[in-house]
Structure formats: C-alpha cells, structure tokens
Amino acid sequence: MIEIDHITKRYGETTVVDDVSMVIEPRTVTVIVGTSGSGKTTLLRMINRLVEPSSGTIRLDGIDNRSVPGHELRRSIGYAIQGNGLFPHRTVAQNIATVPALLGWDAARIKARVDELLALLQLDPAAFGPRYPHELSGGQQQRVGVARALAAEPNVLLMDEPFGALDPIIRTKAQEDLLAIQKRFGTTIILVTHDMEEAVHLGDRIAVMDAGKLVQYATPADILANPASDFVETLIGASDRPFKLLSLGTVGDAVEPGPAAGEGIRAGASQRDALAELLWSGRPAMPVTGENGAALGRVTVEGLVKRAARPQ
Amino acid sequence: MRAWLPLLLRLCLLALLVAFLSNPLWFEPLLRPLTQNGAPAVYNQGSLLSLALLHLRTVAIATAAAIVVAVALAILVTRPIGAEFLPLSRSLVNIGQTFPPVAVLALAVPAVGFGEKPTLIALFLYGLLPIFENTLTGLTTTPPSIVEAARGAGMTGWQRLTKVELPLCLPVMLAGIRLSVVISLATATIGSTVAAKTLGEVIIAGLQSNNLAFVLQGGLIVAALAVLIYDALSALERMAARRMGQVA
C-alpha cells in the first residue's frame, strides 16, 4: 500500500504539486492522468524520491520513504520512462541486470532472472541478450526498459509515459503485455499518461491531476459516469464517453440467452469491440463463445446500447 | 579492394618509419642530394631511434598529466558541488592554450632549469584545453533520459559517473586526447631549444649547419609519427562510438 499524505512540491514561487493525498492499494494499477504541466510526473517522481517533496510524507507499506537513503529506496522500486532510457554502451542483458548488479546478486541468479524476463517479454534470450539497444526496434527497446524496471522483483513499478513513443499497434500490444505481467507478479503499478483512453484501459483506479491538484481519484467507470469537473469531462472527451464505458466490460458480462447466426465473438473481448463488430457487419445479434469454444448465448446491439448509457 | 587502400598506405608508412629509424644509412643516397659541401646526409650526433623514443616519452608523460588534470577538472565542474568553478576553470585552461609554448619555455627554464622539465610544463599546459573542453561537452550532453534512468535505477552519484557518464563521453573525450597528442607531438620539437632530448634536436642541428637533409628527416619523422598516432586514435574512437550506435 502506498499512502501519499498531503504532498506539496514548490519550485520557488510555483507550486507544482499542491497538497495531494491518495492511497494506492497493493497489486493494482493506478493511472495518473493530466495535461502537460499538471504535476503528474513530479508526483510520480516523489514516490521514489527522484524529487524531494516540499512538505508532506509518502509511506510505502506504512514506512516513510525517507527512512532509507534515496538510492537504496530506488533500487527497491521499479522505474520505467518514456524513450526507455536504456544505456547505449551496455548490452540488453547488462541493461536488464542493472539493479540486480547494484544489489550484488550473484552472476547465476542475475542470468536466470534476465533470461526469465526476456522470455516473458517474447524476446529470445540467446538472440537479444548480447545485442546493443540501438540494434533493437522501438517496441523491443520499450520491452527491455520494462524488463530492466522489473529485474530486481520490485513490489512497486513506476512508469512515466512508458508507451508514449510507440506507434498505436505496438502500443496496444505493450499495454496487453503490461497487464499480463501485472497479473503474473502482482506488482503495484503507478503509471503516468496524458491519454485518457490508455488510463481507462489500464487503470483499476484513475487519478486526474490539473494544475498540481488531484481533481478526482476513482474507478474508470466512476470517472466516466460522474466526472468531478468540467476539466475531467473535457479530458474524457464527451463524444467518446459511451464507447469508453463499453470498453470497460467484457462480452461475457453482456451475454443474453438466445440464438444468433454468423461469426461469433469470444466472451473475453470487450463490449466495445462486440458493438463495433455488430455495427460493421449490420447484424442485430451475434453468438458468444467461451474460451473453450462452447456457445454461451448472444450479444445484441440493443443490449449493448443500453449498457453504453450513463450509469444511474 | 578500395577499403584496404588506406590501411595499406598506413602500413607502408609504418614500415618506412621503422626502417628509417633502425637503419637510417639505407636512405643516405636519397638524402645525399640535399646536402652541400660533403656535409653528412644522415643525423650523426645521436641515434634517431632513441631520439624518437624520447620524443614520444615526453609527449606521453605530458599528455597523461593533461588527461588526469583536464578530466578531473571537467568532472568536478559538472558536479553540483563544483559548478561555480566552471568559469574559473575555463579561464585557466584557456590561458594555458593562449600562452605560446615558447614563452612558457622561456619562463620555465629559470624556475626548473634546462632539459625535459620545461618542455613537459609547456606541453602539459598546451594540451589541457582540447581534453577539458571535449570531456566537458561529453559530460554535459549525456541524454537526460539516460541519466534519469541511472538515477531511477538507484545508482549513487559515483556509480552514475563511472558506469554511465564517463563511458558515454569516451568517444568525445578520445577526440580531445587525439587533438592534444598531435599538437604536443609537433610542439615538443621546440623543447630542444632548451636541451630536451626530442626530434627537434635534428631539425635545430640542420638549421644551424644549413643542412636541409637534417631538417627534412627530423620533420618527416615527426610528421609520420603524428599521422600514424592520429589515425590509430581515430580508429579507437570509431570503435568506442560504434559500440554505442553512434555514427562516427
């Protein structure tokens, strides 16, 4: 659990982060959203003390994060940034081994961990380990950046716009990978982005920041249904709201009994994808199949449209 | 085939240099036409090989000292603790460069006497600037995202310097060292005016006795050394840069 307690950061006269308090539950993904200059990155960097707050405290599992020296704290917290920040003079394997090496792990343990992470991120350890970062594509570099942040098995992973530099197709894939890794390791992830779409997709909870203040901190469904201010509403984008809401639910939750013809959809797909498919193929209903291929029922345009309405 | 030509030329130059230094008499017929009144065509007041080695030693010692001081200074002024010394260090190093080596020799001789010492002082002062400025450029242009990542990974200030910043600025630093070495190789010849054992001795002896052959062989040996060392350091630099994916 991460408790952010009345945190304020001032640079001279300007207040960048203004009295922010929030509690982040363990093993969840929290997304901090805001425009440029909203203080979201500064807030993130105060958790691992890359920035020291002017006042207030941050506690990790009840312990003040100022109770250990900054560099030791940072070794226990994963940190991934936009543009990945890989060390160009070190191989992929050496990059991933950065924190374990600082912690003094023995060579065999480091190698095992590096290979595990590379395999997990679908990079062949034998082929990619000895390469240098400039020999990789942008998407591969980003994955190595994530692997490096996770190398020392941190409980908390901080990510600053980690997908900002990726093209849309690779970004979607990277987001899926991140969610899978989060499920596997149970890491608490705090991610900063300016993209509400990404926030709704990834976050268990979303913190919206504006001009240094925490404007709203709630679940994605809650933020979509009850935006706390005009600013939050603008950030969501009014025309997209129903579709973002649909993207939160799976087809499995929208299944109705009854038959339907034509090609089916998996129960794990999002309701937004189901609606899109129905509208595109001009059908009123389509069959739903479980992960094992069994028929579960159908989804209908009518049923999905009802679910897209503002929750009461 | 084309790609091998520069390397081949350099190997020929090296072979020629080694041959000349070890057996200068072989080349006497070539140099003979440059002399007058039966003067000796090949330097006969000492071994050319040992002069060349002493010349290299002087340059090596002076450059090594310049590297240590310039790099240490550049590191100091790029840390928060030493940032205010940046203008002062710049001025000091610039003075070292603008002061003509001849003047330094003239001033140093009364203080430390004749011989190698005044030459070392002059070369050291003259060699500081390129190394200092290049190291400074390298350290201040490290991409912020990489320094940020190093901090975020939990490296201490010292670890960031030795594991990230210095290795990353190595190619630029090597370029400064290369410039400094080449300047020192040429400048070291004037050290012989204050009795330092360098190849300048050959040139000065030639000038004094109006012997063009001496002047030419002294100058050519220094030039060949400078070209070969320049190319070797350039190659080293390209290797360092290529590892980092920079186009050299």
A141 to A88, A158, A171: CA distances (angstroms): 11, 17, 12
Looking at residue A82, what is its pLDDT?
83
Using the beta-carbon criterion (under 8 Å), do B149 and A99 form an inter-chain contact?
no
Confidence of residue B72 (pLDDT cuts 50, 70, 90): very high
Confidence of residue B172 (pLDDT cuts 50, 70, 90): very high
| Res A259: pLDDT | 85
Would the CB atoms of B245 and A86 count as touching at under 8 Å? no
Q: Which residue of B has its CA nearest to A70?
A: B154
Lowest mean pLDDT among A102-111, A136-145, A164-173, B222-231: A164-173
Which pLDDT does position A253 carry in this prediction? 86
Residues 145-164 of A with CB under 8 A from B: 148, 158
| pLDDT beyond 50 at B180 | yes
Query: Which carries the bigger pLDDT value, residue B97 or residue B163?
Result: B163
Please indicate whether, in this complex, the C-beta atoms of A85 and B164 are within 8 angstroms of each other.
Answer: no
**Cβ–Cβ gap B153/A132 under 8 Å:** no
List the single residue in B153, B244, B246 with the smallest CB-CB distance to A98.
Answer: B153
In this model, does residue B248 exceed pLDDT 50?
A: no
How many Cα neighbours within 13 Å face the side chain of B67?
A: 17
**Given a cut of 60, is residue B50 above it in pLDDT?**
yes
> Does residue B128 contact residue B68 with C-beta atoms inside 8 Å?
no
Residues in chain B closer than 8 A to A82 (CB atoms): 145
In the block, tokens 């400078």 appear at B226
Cβ neighbours of B148 in A, within 8 Å? 50, 81, 85
pLDDT in tens, A220-245: 989 988 889 999 988 888 788 888 88
* Fold classified for B47-247: MetI-like fold (1.10.3720)
Which percentage of chain B shows pLDDT scores above 70? Answer: 98
Residue B171 pLDDT exceeds 60: yes
Residue B170 sits at the vertex; the CA angle it makes with B119 and A105, to the nearest 5 degrees, is 130
Q: Pick A89's closest partner by Cβ from B152, B154, B168.
A: B168
Residue A109 burial by CB count (10 A; 0-12/13-18/19+): exposed, middle or buried?
exposed
Closest Cα to residue A232, out of A260, A250, A208, A249?
A208
User: Long-range contacts for B167-170 (Cβ within 8 Å, ≥24 apart)?
Assistant: B167/A89, B168/A87, B168/A88, B168/A89, B168/B138, B168/B142, B168/B244, B169/B135, B169/B137, B169/B138, B169/B139, B169/B141, B169/B142, B170/B138, B170/B240
At residue A130, φ and ψ (nearest 5 deg) are -80, -5
pLDDT at B166 over 50: yes
**Residue A113 tokens, joined:** 């961990």
Q: What is the pLDDT of residue B243?
A: 73
- Provide the pLDDT for residue A192: 95
Residue B36 — pLDDT band, cuts 50, 70, 90?
Answer: confident
Percent share of chain A, pLDDT over 70: 100
Q: Are B215 and B204 in contact (CB under 8 A)?
A: no
A-interface mutation test, from B163, B169, B170, B239, most A Cβ less than 10 A away = B163
pTM, 2 dp:
0.82
- DSSP helix/strand/coil, B52: helix
ipTM of this predicted structure: 0.82
pLDDT of residue A68: 92
Share the mean pLDDT of chain A.
Answer: 91
Structure tokens given for A119: 């395999």
Q: What are phi and psi of A7, to 5 degrees?
A: -85, 130
d(CA A75, CA B40): 72
Alpha-carbon distance of A165 to A92, in angstroms, equals: 19
Q: Average of pLDDT values for B121-150?
A: 91
Q: Which of B145, B159, B243 sits opposite A85 (nearest CB)?
A: B145
For chain B, the structural domain boundaries read 47-247
Adjacent-strand bridge partners of A192: A32, A160
Chain B residues whose beta carbon lies within 8 Å of the beta carbon of residue A75: 153-154
Residue B134 has pLDDT above 80, yes or no: yes
One-letter amino acid at B186 equals A
| pLDDT value, residue B1 | 56
B:48-107 residues touching chain A, CB 8 A cutoff? none
Q: Would you say A284 and A302 are in contact if contact means Cβ atoms under 8 Å apart?
A: yes
**Stretch 153-182 of chain B: residues touching chain A, C-beta under 8 Å:** 153-156, 159, 164, 167-168
> What are the phi and psi torsion angles at B42 (to 5°)?
-115, 135
**The pair of three-digit structure tokens given for residue B84, joined into one six-digit string:** 């205010």
Q: What is the pLDDT of residues B181-199, one digit of tens each?
A: 999 999 999 988 888 889 9
Helix (H, G, I), strand (E, B) or coil at A209: strand
- Cβ contact, residue pair B152, A87, below 8 Å: no
Q: CA separation (Å) from A249 to A191, A197, A274?
A: 21, 14, 11
pLDDT at B97 over 90: no
Number of other CB atoms surrounding residue A244 within 10 Å:
21
Q: What is the pLDDT of residue B53?
A: 93
pLDDT tens-digit readout, A30-87? 999 998 889 999 999 999 999 999 999 999 999 999 999 999 999 999 999 887 789 9
Least confident piece of the model among A125-129, B1-5, B119-123: B1-5
Amino acid at A123: L
Write down the pLDDT at residue B247. Answer: 43
Q: List chain A residues with CB under 8 Å of B158.
A: none
Higher pLDDT, residue A290 or A4: A4
